[in-house]
Structure 1
Amino acid sequence: MAYVIGLPCVDVLDRACVDECPVDCIYEGERALYIHPDECVDCGACEPVCPVEAIYYEDDLPEALQQHQADNARFFAVPLLGRDAPLGSPGGAAELGRLGVDTPLVADQPRLT
């Protein structure tokens, strides 16, 4: 995984990064966006357009957000609430649309009002 979306994205879902991504590897959960670790090509186009600075290159991820690296990968690797199987690697987010589920790390965050 090269880029990671962290806590500042929760309940924001700006989607500027989604529009900028040339390989369609940013998927939308219920409350946050997730970068697919196998589909990302490390171009970095998403990082500068994020209005809340939630996207980091994995080597630059602040200590406080380290748990989000594994969490982004978990979104694709394990079945989440309401899904019978892991999402896996569908090869692009646009066709799937909003998935309506999040990882427990994101789902357990207090909601912004």
Structure 2
Amino acid sequence: MTYVIAQPCVDVKDKACVEECPFDCIYEGERMLYIHPDQCDDCGACEAVCPVEAVRYEDELPEGWRPFAAVNAEFCAGLGSPGGAASIGPIGRDHPLVAALPKV
């Protein structure tokens, strides 16, 4: 299990979680941030600083946000294992589910 960034992050991208993450495993998409499940060490630092409470432990996602576990994993699967988000910067796309959401 890992931490997941869910729907409240869409069109917000506060990035406090990025600054707090000691593992550099939070990647920036076009409309939201994503946690790379293979790089997350489950420290919880990101959860504590999220101002919109979008970060949750995978097992604790509310029912409506459960698809975001797959959203984070699938988005990051396309990246491979780049060795950290800072090395590649913002990614000019989102997971199709996120891209299809109405803009806030």
Counterpart code for 1:40: C
The residue type equivalent to 1:88 in the other structure is G
Indicate the residue corresponding to 1:87 in structure 2. 79
* Structure 1 equivalent of residue 35 of structure 2: 35
Q: Which residue of 2 aligns with 1:54?
A: 54
Task: List structure 1 runs of 4+ shifted beyond 2 angstroms.
Answer: none
Secondary structure in 2 matching 1:94 = helix
Structure 2: gaps spanning 5 or more residues: none
Task: Report the 3-state secondary structure (helix = DSSP H, G, I; strand = E; otherwise coil) of the residue aligned with 2:45.
Answer: coil
What is the DSSP-based 3-state SS (H/G/I as helix, E as strand, rest coil) of the residue aligned with 2:68? helix
Structure 1: any 5+ residue segments left out of the alignment?
A: 78-85
Aligned residues with identical type, % of pairs: 67
* TM-score (norm. length: structure 2): 0.97
Computing the radius of gyration over CA atoms, which structure comes out larger, 1 or 2?
1
**Separation in 2 of the partners of 1:106 and 1:89?**
22
Q: Deviations over 1:7-52 (max 9, x none)?
A: 0000000000000000100000000000000000000000010000
Alignment of 1:1-113 (within 5 A): 1-77=1-77, 86-112=78-104
- TM-score of the superposed pair, with normalisation by structure 1: 0.90
CA RMSD of aligned residues (A): 0.7
Q: Which has the higher helix share?
A: 2
